[in-house]
Structure 1
């Protein structure tokens, strides 16, 4: 983050916080007795129903509730990482070398796409990010909500609805709903956390000596110390404060400020390839073999959250909440060796290889993200009706800067080293009116009727970069054929710039009835119309039956949809390659572009789903709560990004449409149908008092399987040319098919302990090292292709110890990944007859590891309540 902007914002935040704390009422915090009483009370939920008295225990659909304590008692200060630790069906891989995704990482629920789960804040739809994930990560082709803009200290609780809910909330709620409820309480907490990775990289050797090269193309001979490589990096500082103030006699104001500074990590292995062009170059022996940077990038975050309300009268409450977040981050690309043609200075010599950077260079993608949201509304009672009228605005801006790079086609002298590559913007405005009342029809114990409407306006933009970031310079033509644009990320061109908008309106009705003390029925329906693709109607029925007190059966059936995002419809990025002396366009084209239309693209339709769920809850033993739920989610017309379509038939189709100069294209299509089914088991147990404090145990298990049930073909392209083996298996097998977690929380007098462990199931990585025919053959099962890799299951354990030397002061130390577990080391070179190439020598772990690949993180935290 720029020092000036960060420093000034941080200073303003600190000054404002100090002023408000000084003006606050006397210190307020729950004592242990209050906390225990609260834990014993049934949690009232606001997700999955618009009733005001529904609890977790009597919900007809599964809802998990994560408390503020669950989120605070950890060394992680990223909300997505916390959810990954706590929710069995939640997956948060931490990819690297994936452009902007390094700074804005997506997460998934129940193995579905990041944009197939709806995120709410205080029950209101949260806007998505402007980033579309394109480069080899889980969730490829999707946009997601940036959950890490929400500081954990601002959160009162998180409700995770594990059921389809499009009939209640509209688009995206196929996998479920994550509803973040912000704090309202008086008092506050300030805390500072510091941690770093202290780790030994499993099966990654430490270089001892390097011999010089002797021939024109040989690699140096490298010897190792016999010890695995040790790392001490990723220093992370987090300073956060939350405080709540009363406003008059009937209002509240709760404010959270958080600053987070994370240094990069590097889990690269040694690059065993030659670096220098000339044989025998003495620098080969001293060159840093760990010049790649593979791991977490730099991230500097500043986030503010406000949540406030005030009773204007007995029947009218005004409320508002909002956020402002800034993140400056960077992620690395591949290291360009000194001898790399992308590092050749043609301007210096056209006959002798002269490098632009003498030792090579590591290009960096610097992402500047600004995320803003503001909401305001009125709620209260109007006769026998409860009402809630609100308007919410949200926007996400992402600018790309490319640093330590070069546009090789311009020559070393004329090219800049830093580029403004353009960026993306996404905005959303939502207006909601919700009405609810209780009905007395002479049947049942209680009946709640709700209806309402929603209007939403969305906008998406791509902004072009500066000229040098995308231009093809004089050395882009034969015989030089140098790549144009800034290395690692060519800038958006003026022809890529777009500004698209759409709006939608919807109406819904919901009936939630306790027809008897043992039987609950919920019915809902929703109509929605979008200006770009038309209308959709969805419905839901859910029921719960409790024949014996403490044993209940529940089930649901619903239809759902996900509207194609504006990014999927209009995203464009192109580059120009020199092929045989001819400049050829390659890239991603919008579905409305002439190129995509000539190749068979059609306007995107919404994804449609049918969700089935059923299970039981068991609470017959004091302190024990057990839920078991099966789910089956069928999705039609899932939106996928095609493979790069190229070859003579592609050129022929384009030529027939009057388009020349394009040899390769990809675009979004409604490409596949899928079925996802699984099982969620969640249990918690409050151990009876045994004189040594309070002990709570919890466990969760998710079993998940996704399969592709149908594929689209058109324009003569086979199914595997449109969506080949690697991306198919990334979608179906690229996340764990099972995940198990256990946790123990113990509090006694001034001491506390939290122990959590997660078992992440097997992940499959389809081969890219066999023949092209094998790599693209979707008929070949996992393990049938030479070079297929299976990442074995792993246990990852976290431990935190706490002490309160004073009533309001708390100290904690802990370790995430206590036992320093890594995913399996990837093979390189020739192993068992398969040539894996040499890249895995310096990229030793897969980015699809469900728990990352950073190793043990040690931390300390000091907190003060006021």
Structure 2
């Protein structure tokens, strides 16, 4: 109900602001109707009329049609297929990150790419990725809140641009341009995974000894009988309804509306659990339930999600030279993912408790709270809103754009099918675990004019300023979601809701900051062959102070069909409020004393005692250079090298513990803490690579319209320096596993190949992508896993009779899986039921088949 009410209110307010709607006369043509390279630049320079082919820095343009001619309806998955330097791993069993998965550009952190919508800064989610996934320690923009049907085109600026757009634009800028044209399109897409899990044999039961007892491996697990076939899966059913409409009402305005509803069932690629699931009987035999238990007891794959997203984009002329515009969005996502399975509890024949997390105690007697064990479910609700209002036009020779943008995101956790063992039989089974909030307000004034200078073909001057205010909150959960009950004292039972301990009142925070910025940009066309862009920006933040950044870029075309280009720039990323103020604790009984362990905010006395400091901005130096070629009509080729040095990268430290840590804390008068982690400017890195992109629109040969695309990215990141803590110099601040996740946890290379063909009412889209070597780093005593290069192929066949569209297709047509995790014995028992690494750059769900029906109007 609240979704419908909110959408109606939002639409009503837009109708009040824009009384008459039609396509504005100077609106750009649809992106899919513009030849490659001739699209007008909207990122990289503020000069008017520059085309992508004339850009001194690399810019990719992804059309709206390229996004909708596919089976997936998540924007991040689509960009992963289309942009070679874009990476979208799909982790699982990572709490809220299962539902809001971060994406990266050029192998850098998710929060080092700036996302714009209609050229205006988009707010990030409030969720902090705190677990062991790509993007650990970051909060990023969730592109999956933007329906692909709402998008006219996406411009991907692959160059540092902090001096032009501010914080976060170290890896580049992704600008999403919303549709504004008349007409409409409605689609319904149905898809499902139909797959065989490579390397995971189907199991019929437990292998028995002659006495009827299970056969046991050296690592203590049971030998399972396999059928000789791979496990077959049929899951992940996804239904998406989407509609886009541009309303024609008048001659000087436009209004475009998009709504999308997506319902996705979970996928499960868990293997079979060969562990003993029940305590042994008194005679030493196994519990008979071992032979009938469901041994696919984990859930490892895509979370269950239900999405509703609504977008509005409108404008109306006011006077002869100005336009009032409005755009915004509202979205809700309900998610459900799982934690690790907890086995049944009780004491076995030698007195060991099998799983303390499922114990309910009578004195020292442990009986299971859930008789057959339990799988905690992490349910969540994300609510996202953004609204922009602005006016642009021309006055006194200057083109101006004055805008206000407000964005907010909330993420709430509810834990179900769970247990707070420290409360024993008085424990709840479902918990409100609290949540996070983020809000952002941005005011921009941009000015641009063309100047006449005799020796220049043209000169563009752009000036502007920005004010931004940000707010971050943590909301505490209910008591039992975080508290330690009486059995924590007597038996050391775990405190808090299992799967995800709730936020305690000690984590609660309401923090704000603001910033002021000013910039200037010159774009000089010295001649038709030579173009230079220079930009500078000053920005002041209320929390960490000032930063000044600059950029110089140039393009030289000695002949009409070939050009050299290059750039050098400095950049920065302000520490996010989440990195400064996030905290989360778990209570444990250590040696009879209840202590808190977890993540402490930077200013907490615990973190200060261990050597934390006020976070500073990350600082970058970007150098890039390349060439562009158009040797044939319809053919464009670009090749670019980049080198990005980043100092003072913000990382989440290891869980610092040990005698040296305890001694420092006790000396500071802190008695109830034995370990801690916090954010710190911890490392310097260098990322370098090569990108090659080609597009060829084949001349008409009587076989229909054919477009070929190709892209290649090679990327390498190295850690060049590490910080230490003077208070505890011998303690590892950023360990081997996290280091490898940063430097090796994304594909070293990636290839995108595509073909689009149409003839009459028929069309084909074929894409194949090669994901290069990726490392899944192991922990203590667990071997790293080298994920081998894999090719994935997508194919769609469609027909468009009249205004209708029918399509069938397959993503991952040949059912390719990542390298299977090896089973190495007792130190890697998890690899039995977690067969694939969540660092796989294409996920691990297998073949996806789909059908789509649509209508244009």
TM-score range (shorter-chain normalised) is over 0.9
> Which of 257, 262, 265 matches 2:264?
262
Match of 2:62 in 1: 66
Provide structure 1 residue ranges, at least 5 long, that are not aligned to the other structure. 18-22, 771-785
Matched, 1:590 2:605: no
How far apart are 1:7 and its partner, in Å?
Answer: 8.2
TM-score by length of 1: 0.93
How far apart are 1:717 and its partner, in Å?
Answer: 3.8
Q: Give me the whole-angstrom Cα distance separating, in 2, the residues matched to 1:282 and 1:288.
A: 13
Matched, 1:241 2:247: no
Match of 1:851 in 2: 842
Match of 2:430 in 1: 418
Q: Give me the whole-angstrom Cα distance separating, in 1, the residues matched to 2:156 and 2:707.
A: 20
Equivalent position SS for 1:649: helix
How far apart are 1:769 and its partner, in Å?
Answer: 4.6
Q: Give me the whole-angstrom Cα distance separating, in 1, the residues matched to 2:522 and 2:252.
A: 31
Say whether the 8 Å CA contact 1:590–1:668 is kept in structure 2.
yes
After superposition, the Cα gap between the structure-2 partners of 1:455 and 1:7, relative to the gap in structure 1 and judged at 3 Å, is closer
Q: Give me the whole-angstrom Cα distance separating, in 2, the residues matched to 1:726 and 1:36.
A: 44
Q: Give me the whole-angstrom Cα distance separating, in 2, the residues matched to 1:535 and 1:24.
A: 44
Matched, 1:178 2:180: no
How far apart are 1:36 and its partner, in Å?
Answer: 7.8
> Which of 755, 767, 786 matches 1:756?
767
How far apart are 1:291 and its partner, in Å?
Answer: 1.1
Aligned pairs for 1:340-359 within 5 A: 340-347=354-361, 349-359=362-372
Say whether the 8 Å CA contact 1:640–1:671 is kept in structure 2.
yes
Equivalent position SS for 1:57: helix
Match of 1:466 in 2: 478
Match of 2:393 in 1: 380
Q: Give me the whole-angstrom Cα distance separating, in 2, the residues matched to 1:769 and 1:665.
A: 19
Aligned pairs for 1:296-375 within 5 A: 296-339=302-345, 340-347=354-361, 349-375=362-388
Q: Give me the whole-angstrom Cα distance separating, in 2, the residues matched to 1:672 and 1:584.
A: 30
Say whether the 8 Å CA contact 1:10–1:259 is kept in structure 2.
no
Q: Give me the whole-angstrom Cα distance separating, in 1, the residues matched to 2:691 and 2:322.
A: 40
Matched, 1:114 2:95: no
What are the Cα deviations for residues 557-587 of structure 1, in whole angstroms up to 9, with x where unaligned? 0000000000000100111110111111111
How far apart are 1:277 and its partner, in Å?
Answer: 1.2
Match of 1:739 in 2: 750
What are the Cα deviations for residues 390-427 of structure 1, in whole angstroms up to 9, with x where unaligned? 00000010000001101111013x11111000000000
After superposition, the Cα gap between the structure-2 partners of 1:744 and 1:807, relative to the gap in structure 1 and judged at 3 Å, is same
Matched, 1:702 2:713: yes
How far apart are 1:16 and its partner, in Å?
Answer: 14
Say whether the 8 Å CA contact 1:95–1:852 is kept in structure 2.
yes
Q: Give me the whole-angstrom Cα distance separating, in 1, the residues matched to 2:687 and 2:595.
A: 40
Aligned pairs for 1:93-104 within 5 A: 93-104=89-100
How far apart are 1:837 and its partner, in Å?
Answer: 2.3
Q: Give me the whole-angstrom Cα distance separating, in 2, the residues matched to 1:35 and 1:473.
A: 60
Q: Give me the whole-angstrom Cα distance separating, in 1, the residues matched to 2:578 and 2:134.
A: 17
Q: Give me the whole-angstrom Cα distance separating, in 2, the residues matched to 1:837 and 1:43.
A: 52
> Which of 403, 411, 425 matches 2:416?
403
Match of 2:350 in 1: none
> Which of 790, 806, 809 matches 1:811?
806
Provide structure 2 residue ranges, at least 5 long, that are not aligned to the other structure. 15-19, 346-353
After TM superposition, the structure 1 stretch with the greater mean CA deviation from structure 2, 205-214 or 539-548, is 205-214
Match of 1:658 in 2: 669
How far apart are 1:213 and its partner, in Å?
Answer: 5.2
The Cα RMSD (Å) is: 2.2
What are the Cα deviations for residues 723-782 of structure 1, in whole angstroms up to 9, with x where unaligned? 010000100010001001100000100100000010000011233252xxxxxxxxxxxx
TM-score by length of 2: 0.94
Match of 1:773 in 2: none
Say whether the 8 Å CA contact 2:31–2:152 is kept in structure 1.
no
Q: Give me the whole-angstrom Cα distance separating, in 2, the residues matched to 1:655 and 1:421.
A: 31
> Which of 433, 441, 461 matches 2:453?
441
Matched, 1:632 2:643: yes
Equivalent position SS for 2:674: strand
Equivalent position SS for 1:650: helix
What are the Cα deviations for residues 299-326 of structure 1, in whole angstroms up to 9, with x where unaligned? 0000000000000111110001000000
How far apart are 1:34 and its partner, in Å?
Answer: 9.3
What are the Cα deviations for residues 486-531 of structure 1, in whole angstroms up to 9, with x where unaligned? 0111100001100100000000000011110100000000000000
Equivalent position SS for 1:722: coil
Match of 1:20 in 2: none
How far apart are 1:11 and its partner, in Å?
Answer: 11
- Structure 1's consecutive aligned runs of 4 or more residues displaced over 6 angstroms after TM superposition are 6-17, 23-26, 33-36, 214-217
Q: Give me the whole-angstrom Cα distance separating, in 2, the residues matched to 1:719 and 1:674.
A: 22
After superposition, the Cα gap between the structure-2 partners of 1:666 and 1:613, relative to the gap in structure 1 and judged at 3 Å, is same
Matched, 1:141 2:137: yes
Say whether the 8 Å CA contact 1:205–1:225 is kept in structure 2.
yes
Say whether the 8 Å CA contact 1:787–1:836 is kept in structure 2.
no
Would you say how many aligned residue pairs link Structure 1 and Structure 2?
Answer: 830
Match of 1:601 in 2: 612
Q: Give me the whole-angstrom Cα distance separating, in 1, the residues matched to 2:11 and 2:452.
A: 53
How far apart are 1:236 and its partner, in Å?
Answer: 0.2
> Which of 515, 523, 529 matches 2:540?
529
Equivalent position SS for 2:360: coil
After superposition, the Cα gap between the structure-2 partners of 1:232 and 1:331, relative to the gap in structure 1 and judged at 3 Å, is same
What are the Cα deviations for residues 68-101 of structure 1, in whole angstroms up to 9, with x where unaligned? 1110110010010011000000000000000000
Aligned pairs for 1:1-150 within 5 A: 38-39=34-35, 42-150=38-146
Q: Give me the whole-angstrom Cα distance separating, in 1, the residues matched to 2:322 and 2:44.
A: 24
After superposition, the Cα gap between the structure-2 partners of 1:222 and 1:331, relative to the gap in structure 1 and judged at 3 Å, is same
Say whether the 8 Å CA contact 1:343–1:357 is kept in structure 2.
no
Say whether the 8 Å CA contact 2:252–2:317 is kept in structure 1.
yes
After TM superposition, the structure 1 stretch with the greater mean CA deviation from structure 2, 493-502 or 242-251, is 242-251
Q: Give me the whole-angstrom Cα distance separating, in 2, the residues matched to 1:114 and 1:213.
A: 51
Say whether the 8 Å CA contact 2:31–2:64 is kept in structure 1.
no
> Which of 463, 467, 473 matches 1:451?
463
Equivalent position SS for 1:721: coil
How far apart are 1:264 and its partner, in Å?
Answer: 0.3
Q: Give me the whole-angstrom Cα distance separating, in 1, the residues matched to 2:407 and 2:355.
A: 44
What are the Cα deviations for residues 812-831 of structure 1, in whole angstroms up to 9, with x where unaligned? 0000000000001101133x
